[in-house]
Amino acid sequence: MGEALKNRIVIILAILSAVFFFGTLSSCNSAIRQKAARDKEMVARLALEERTSKYAQEKSALEEKAKAKEDQVQELKVALEAAKKDLVQDQLVSMSLKEELQKVTKLKETLEEDLKQALVNGNKSKK
C-alpha cells in the first residue's frame, strides 16, 4: 500500500498542480483583460479631458468675442442716441429757418404790394 499511496499522492499533487496552474493562467488572463480595460478607460478619459479643455478654451474665446460685440453695440447705441439728438436739433433749426423764410417772404410780398401801390399812386399824382 505504500506504493499505491505514493502513487495516489503523486496523482493528487499532479491534479492539484494542474488546477493551480490553470487557476494561475486564468488569473493572469483576467488581470491582462482588466489592465486592457483600465488602459482603454484611461485613454477615453484623457481624450475627454482634452476635448473638455478645448471646449473650455473655445468657450472663453467666444465669451471674449461676445463681450467685444456687446461693447460695440453699446458704443453704437450711444452714437445712435447722439445722432438722434443732432437730428432733432437739425429739424428744429430747419423749422425755425422755414418760419423765418415764410416771414421774410410775406414781408417781401407786402413790400412789393406797397411798392406797387406807391407806384400807382405816384403815377396818378403825376398825371
Domain ranges, ordered by start, for the chain: 1-93
Q: How confident is the model at residue 4 (pLDDT cuts 50, 70, 90)?
A: confident
Cα–Cα dist 86/94, whole Å: 12
Whole-number pLDDT of residue 119: 83
Place of cell 490553470: 22
Provide the grid cell at 21.
496552474
Amino acid in position 109: E
Mean pLDDT (the chain, rounded): 93
Whole-number pLDDT of residue 122: 77
Whole-number pLDDT of residue 1: 64
Q: What would the mean pLDDT of 47-75 be, rounded to a whole number?
A: 97
> In terms of pLDDT, which residue wins out, 114 or 91?
91
